[in-house]
Structure 1
């Protein structure tokens, strides 16, 4: 039985391990934490609507469900030409036939970033955000800024949706408590039209959301630095804030930048349409770690990471059996999400042919809640997987 080493315990890594096992490979998964974190549902941790433990799935349970082996030990280095991966403990992994890299991305590091917290950062940051929000609720008033940044070297590495969702959920929390009028909520971003990749209709609807929820906008100015009481922009203007939630753009992982793997200008691994790393026949890269090619509006999302993971597993199996029915990821590129607002949601979809945003009052919130439970149970193999979800 051929051996596959999978690096990463997120959406891309877990999906790769599951589907490689379905193809009867001997799979070892290496992760820097002992749980799989369902990031899309973390937006409810800061508002107390969801408990942290409920969006974590223990890797040992996934191992029992699917039969892959797990090693909890961060990756320290990848030496592709030497066919070697070294872990933080010093353990050397070189006994594999195929390598799947799914370690995600690092984050752009703006000056003063330590004065912010991110809903897309380390999982534990969601709890810290909860503490900060609770402090301001107890105070009875305050200014909260929510924002995200971009990476000029790779436009696919922007993740703004969770920022919008957390903003609207905090608005809804304050509204329920009857104290919303005591708070100034502002959304900021360096680009003139944040969310433009979702399409013009979505942009107009987002403006309606901002107006209806009395959220201020601060768009089109580059971020110079963060301070403990606000955000400084390129023209030295300042957005005052008692708490700033900021999602930095993705950047090439430090381990990848230090490796001998081919990289694009942002430091993401160069791959072909079949997710195979350029110049390396037995190495694949999936999810945020990879340089995704395609239209300008392309975005790195969990469902794209999973498509890439399933394709990589399929293509490894094809390669092993000397077959050529390989599957590419680019034909599956789209933007797909249910953007939650705490009291409803909006269905967002975009591909090469169309872009739409459909309001889902009340029902949408519970649909996304249901998806969170579905994600957990389907990953554990307790309910069937629905194609495309």
Structure 2
């Protein structure tokens, strides 16, 4: 019986497992991850406003694994021998497989001096809870919200949630009747943050910040973060609460492998999500570096599309066919502001931006309900 090993338990990993079974693949599947829960991070933006609680966004996966006949190994990967398709783990167990899917996600770069003084919102649900507690304890002051990228891989950025936090916190403070006691500043080394969304989207985002009274400190390289300020080459932003999304790179264990890595530290893949030069090795989601348009996003939707391509190509390989399914490059983002949402869509030459509308907020909430049905 063929064996497929999937590293990770996030969007790309679970979509790969589900799509393999949908395609009738009867092979043994092992999922390796230190976490047997799906953390639905897209909705963690609503934790500060009480629209979601952390418990509701942590979904146990035991039933999902049983339903799809998946063996789960609770472990952290420590290494991978590409030629042998052999995975080592911190439990001491070694897993060998006919196909290995790297879907472990990326990690945030933490080389900036003093980054420990900032909360990294997309690092997990606990970060959203910490931010909620810090905000509740403040009677006033300055909130600094910013983002940066991986200088060696400009596409390794997840900026959308930071725009959402800026708009959501502004709206929340207004609801609470204390917005006038807070200064909000958005900072980024880029003079026009969010360019992967398209120029019209950037114009709309910056206009919305101006309308809400959110100041900007843009186009200045970051130097360090201190407990009460963000220091850049273009000046300082004093702050009582700092939210910062650094650029991304690959999992730490990749450095000890013989896998081909991009300049930014991610696994190099082709259009079929096949690891370059490595038979039977695949990558989907944030851990990979892929060919495609310069705006190719790092987001859950793109990870799902890559995972579907991986599942299709593995299913074909098990029947002796070469890879034929290239992943679709597509960006779909609803930037929420607590009661409205701005839609950005990119695919091929299409680049659509819709202004903040109330129905789009509800569409984002409806999508969450639809997406999570597979795991509840």
TM-score, length of structure 1 as denominator length: 0.93
5+ residue gaps, structure 1: 381-389
CA RMSD of aligned residues (A): 1.4
Tell me if structure 1 keeps the 8 A contact 2:121–2:243. yes
Is the partner of 1:42 in helix, strand or coil? helix
Q: 2:338 and 2:181 mapped to 1: Cα distance?
A: 19
Partner of 2:308: 310
What corresponds to 1:173 in structure 2? Answer: 172
Question: Which of 231, 249, 252 is the aligned partner of 1:251?
Answer: 249
Deviations 1:208-252 (Å, cap 9, x if unpaired)?
2112211011110011111110101124x2111101011111112
Query: Gaps spanning 5+ residues in structure 2: where?
Result: none
Out of 61-70 and 181-190, give the one that drifted further: 61-70
Greater CA drift, 173-182 or 320-329: 320-329
Distance 1:230 1:32 in 2: 35
With the length of structure 2 as denominator, give the TM-score of the two structures: 0.96
How far 1:258 moved relative to its partner? 1.8
Match of 2:270 among 269, 272, 279: 272
Match of 2:66 in 1: 64
Find the aligned partners of 1:189 and 1:244 in 2 and give their Cα distance: 13
Counterpart in 2 of 1:292? 290
Runs of 4+, deviation exceeding 6 Å: none
1:102 alignment partner in structure 2: 103
Q: Is the 8 A contact 1:18 1:68 kept in 2?
A: no
Shift of 1:105: 1.0
Q: Return the alpha-carbon distance in structure 2 between the equivalents of residues 52 and 310 of structure 1.
A: 28
What is the CA distance between 1:351 and its match in structure 2? Answer: 2.8
Does the 8 Å contact 2:301/2:331 carry over to 1?
Answer: no
8 Å CA contact retained: 2:41, 2:124: no
Find the residue that maps to 1:212 and give its secondary structure.
helix
Aligned length: 373
Counterpart-to-counterpart distance in 2, 1:37 and 1:336: 20
1:379 Cα shift?
4.0
Q: Within 2, Cα distance between the matches of 1:151 and 1:2?
A: 38
1:78/1:324 CA distance change after superposition, 3 Å: closer
Question: How far has the Cα of 1:325 moved from its partner?
Answer: 6.2
TM-aligned CA deviation for residue 52 of structure 1: 0.6
Question: Structure 1 residue 121 and structure 2 residue 123: aligned?
Answer: yes
Tell me the CA shift for residue 64 of structure 1: 2.7
Tell me the distance in 2 between the aligned counterparts of 1:252 and 1:93: 21
